[in-house]
Amino acid sequence: MFFRLLRLVLLLALVVSAPLSFGAAAQGLARAPAGLVADQQKILQDLTTKTDNLEKKIQQDSEGDASLVDIRLQLEELSRNSLNSALAFRPRLAEINARLDQLGAPPAAGQPPEPDIVTAERQALASEKAEINAVIATAQNLSIRVSGLIDRIGNMRSELFRNLLTKRYVLSDALSPEVVSDAHEEFTGFYKAVSSWLIFAFKFKFQAVLAATLMALALAAVLLVGGRRLFGRVFEADPGVEDPSYLSRLSVAFWSTLLPTLAVGAFLVSTVFFFNYYNVLRGDIGVFLNALVAVIAVVFCVNRLTNAALEPQLPNWRLIPVETGPARWLVRLTTAMAVVIGVNNFLSVVNDKMGSPLSVTIARSFVATIVVGVILILMGLLKPFKASDGTWRPWPTWLRYTSVALGLFTIAAALLGYIGLAIFVSLQVVVTGTILVTAYIGFLSARAIGEEGGFADTSIGRWLSANSSYDETALDQLGLVVSVAINLMIVLVFLPLILLMWGFQPGDIQAWGYKLATGLTIGSVTISVTGILTGVVVFIIGYFLTRWFQGWLDGSVMARGKVDTGVRNSIRLAVGYAGVAVAALVGVSAAGIDLSNLALVAGALSLGIGFGLQNVVSNFVSGLILLAERPFKVGDWIVAGDTTGTVKKISVRATEIETFQRQSVILPNSNLINNAVGNWTHRNKLGRVDIKVGVAYGSDVKRVHALLLEIARSHPLVLKNPEPFVLFANFGAAALDFEIRVFLADVLNGNVVQNDIRFAILDIFSSEHIEIPSTPRAVVETKKHEAWPIDDDKIEAEFAERELAEAEAAVEKKRLAKSGRKARKPDPD
């Protein structure tokens, strides 16, 4: 009674509190996003303020390309933040729309009114939705404004680049005597700045300078010694090789350029890094040092490339078949051109930092372009080849004219006052040409390594062949991997360098890399390289985890549990397929692909299954049924139609059966499901073997029966229970037929047992004088005609008969001719 009253009280409490809780929930739903709207409004206000400041900064730094790139990066970040601010309302809008759908439309005129609480909630939700839409509109407008500023920066940078190439300077000021004094003053200022820094560094930062220098030298030593130990055979030409292969020359030229350049670059960069880390560098000195590091790296790379391609000391390793003297001149001219361009760039940095007069800058650039043009003309006019008759031959026509034309163009542009264009052309000839030639040699080397047998001919391939178990096929496959890796490395290393040389800033490459990583939108499809790589990595990890779990489950758990081989195989396959499927789904999700978008693909696949993939799906489903029901397992002896053998492998599409002749037969799983299959070892290997034998009529059948039963019982592989049995089967046409029936623990030993019993029957029947009859065969005698003796008498007799017949025919013909009658045809026989 007490419990009934308690339930009644609780029920009344719930009924009374239901409207109150409904109203509280509605108010809570309405109040929930108030903080979210305020937070996003504040964020948008901050973004708008930053956008205003960046717009002002665009006007101030309109002449600086690097500053404009930095501003563009900041604007792109603001655009992403504004879009994220708008996307923050997406869950709340989904909740509001779902709730409005639940409340439904307001009652029409003439219908009963709805409760006031429902009307109030609908109005609150509608008001909140309008407020959120206003904030979203603000974010969208800010994003549109930022996009306009980004486009404006792009147009300004294009205009700056055009002005750089097309601006014409007056050379009269640059060639006046005042330039010498201005240059002397600038050199004096530069010398004072550097000397004052050196005095300060050695007086107050000596320990830091020493530590930074020693650490940079230690890193350089590690790179140099370690690189030579690891890659010495790769980038060092062997003077003892008289006729190196084209692949060897390509590899040495490419790696002897790339690896030392990277080592020197790492040393220089580490030096600057440690100097900055120990606060050794001053602002202006840091700028000078960075420019000097870039010059040293470029000159070193150009010199290494020309020496690697031309090899003045080792003609047999030379990529270009020029003579030794011209090869040395080409190395000198190319290095000199790189030095001129490098020094000009370094002095341009010094001029900008020191605030030098424009005349000094023009004079410096003018001299550098004239020198580069002269060097290009000299290189084009050089005769590097020697004919068989001893005469010197020039470069090919197209190459000679191109070099001379570039030199003349650079000199003409400088003389006409287009200094910026002349410097740009000179820089591209030296630096971009070096980068392109190195990359081209790298591509050729990668292609040669990827060819059949190419990697095995390299020093690394020969070392692997001698010190590992890799065969030629494995080395070829490894060569393909190495070829792809080299091509990818060339693109990743040299493409940014080329872009930088053509006026792009690091910020441009950073922005492109961010877009490529986060996603490129093509129409309604977004392609994210990072997402794709993440999905691939996740799938690979899931695949290897599945394989590891399969091996552990099969080798450690089921093997110790003495699980049947067939059961182990079924479980291993099921775990493998399930793991790969899960890894694929997780990988697709990690790649950012919405699985719901695959509905169309699934529909197309369903249509394809309905038409062309019926057999494939039938075999797949049949394979799953075989793995689940296990009518046979691996190792079973089955009979499927005309095929008899042992099951070797069960997959989801087909089953592999090995016949007793060691022939592998692949049967589709649907055939094994739809047709009758006999399994000799389904539940166990117990089976019966029958041996038939016949004895002659007149034999003692009871004695025969006893002897056969004794033979069967005496065999060690024949089971005692069920005991063997001898059947007097039939009165045959030529023999009395008996049949021995024995049971074996392993029916796979049936052939051995039959063979042994038959030998025993022959031995015992022979000793007991019991005859095993055979079927009689009729003997047909053929009558032979007496052959005519082959001798001279036969030949003479035949010749005489022919002569007599011809004489009689001639006499008859004359008689008929005299009588005037025609010869009568002979009567038919």
- Nearest 5°: CA angle at 718, between 717 and 723? 160
For residue 140, name the pLDDT band (cuts at 50, 70, 90). Answer: confident
As a whole number of angstroms, the distance between CA 212 and CA 278 comes to 7
The most confident of 123-137, 250-264, 808-822, by mean pLDDT: 123-137
What are 142-148's contacts with CB under 8 Å, separation 24+? 142/44, 142/47, 142/48, 142/51, 142/78, 142/82, 143/79, 143/82, 143/83, 143/86, 145/51, 146/51, 146/75, 146/76, 146/78, 146/79, 146/82, 147/79
C-alpha 594/C-alpha 583 separation (Å) is: 15
One-letter identity of residue 244 = P
pLDDT tens string 596-655: 656 666 666 666 666 666 777 777 778 778 777 778 888 888 888 888 888 888 877 788
What is the percent of the chain where pLDDT is above 70? 82
Q: If you count them, how many residues does the chain have?
A: 829
Least-confidence region, from 145-149, 339-343, 787-791: 787-791
* Structure tokens that stand for 256 in this block: 């002897």
Average confidence (pLDDT) over 334-338: 88
Would you say residue 692 has pLDDT above 80? yes
Q: pLDDT tier at 146 (50, 70, 90 boundaries)? A: confident
Residues 6+ apart with CB under 8 A from 268: 293, 296, 297
Is the per-residue pLDDT at 13 higher than 60?
no
Least confident of 46-50, 118-122, 785-789: 785-789
Q: What pLDDT, on a 0 to 100 scale, did the predictor assign at position 585?
A: 82
For 452, list phi and psi in degrees, rounded to 5: -65, 125
Measured N-to-C along each axis, helices 324-354 and 283-310 cross at an angle, to the nearest 10 degrees, of 170
H helix runs in 278-383, sequence order: 283-310, 324-354, 358-381
pLDDT of residue 690: 92
pLDDT at 186: 77
| Three-state secondary-structure class, residue 656 | strand
Q: Name the token pair of 275.
A: 């100097």
Q: Give the span between the Cα atoms of 160 and 24, in whole angstroms.
A: 63
Contacts of 650 (CB under 8 A, 6+ apart): 569, 570, 573, 623, 626, 627, 633, 634, 656
From residue 718, alpha-carbon distances to 722, 764, 826 in Å are: 9, 18, 86
- Residues sharing a CB contact under 8 Å with residue 496, sequence separation 6 or more, in sequence order: 509
Q: For 293-307, write each residue's pLDDT tens digit.
A: 888 888 888 888 888
Taking residues 667-671, what's their average pLDDT? 85
Distance, CA of 301 to CA of 318 (rounded, Å)? 18
What the block records as the tokens of 664 is: 């592998």
* Highest-confidence segment of 473-477, 782-786, 790-794: 473-477
pLDDT digits (tens, 9 = 90+) for 169-200: 777 766 677 777 777 777 888 888 888 878 88
Report which secondary-structure segment, H or E, holds 125. Answer: helix 116-166
805 alpha-carbon distance from chain centroid: 97
Cβ atoms 697, 736 nearer than 8 A: yes
Confidence of residue 764 (pLDDT cuts 50, 70, 90): very high
Cβ atoms < 10 Å from Cβ of 743: 19
| 370 or 529: which leads in pLDDT | 370
Answer yes or no: are the C-beta atoms of 727 and 697 closer than 8 Å: no
Report which listed range, 224-233, 312-321, 424-433, 577-586, is most confident.
577-586
Distance CA 652, CA 578 (A): 12
Taking residues 781-808, report their average pLDDT: 64
Tokens of 262: 């990277």
Residues near 428 by Cβ (< 8 Å), separated by ≥ 6?
Answer: 501, 502
Pick the range with the lowest mean pLDDT from 122-126, 662-666, 822-826.
822-826
**What pLDDT was estimated at residue 795?**
67
Q: How high is the pLDDT of residue 691? A: 92
Crossing angle of the two packed helices 178-204 and 358-381, in degrees rounded to 10: 100
Report d(CA 340, CA 430) in Å as an integer. 10
Nearest Cα to Cα of residue 426 among 503, 377, 368, 500 = 368
- β-strand partners of 690: 741
Q: Which uninterrupted H or E stretch holds 771?
A: none
Report which residue type is found at 814. Answer: K
Band of residue 27 on the pLDDT scale cut at 50, 70, 90: very low
Q: What is the mean pLDDT of the chain?
A: 78
Out of 30-44, 374-388, 736-750, pick the least confident. 30-44
Cβ-proximal residues to 799 (8 Å cutoff; 6+ apart), any chain: none
Q: What would the pLDDT profile of 227-247 be if each residue is shown by its tens digit? A: 666 655 555 677 777 777 777
The C-alpha atoms of residue 554 and residue 569 are separated, in whole angstroms, by 8
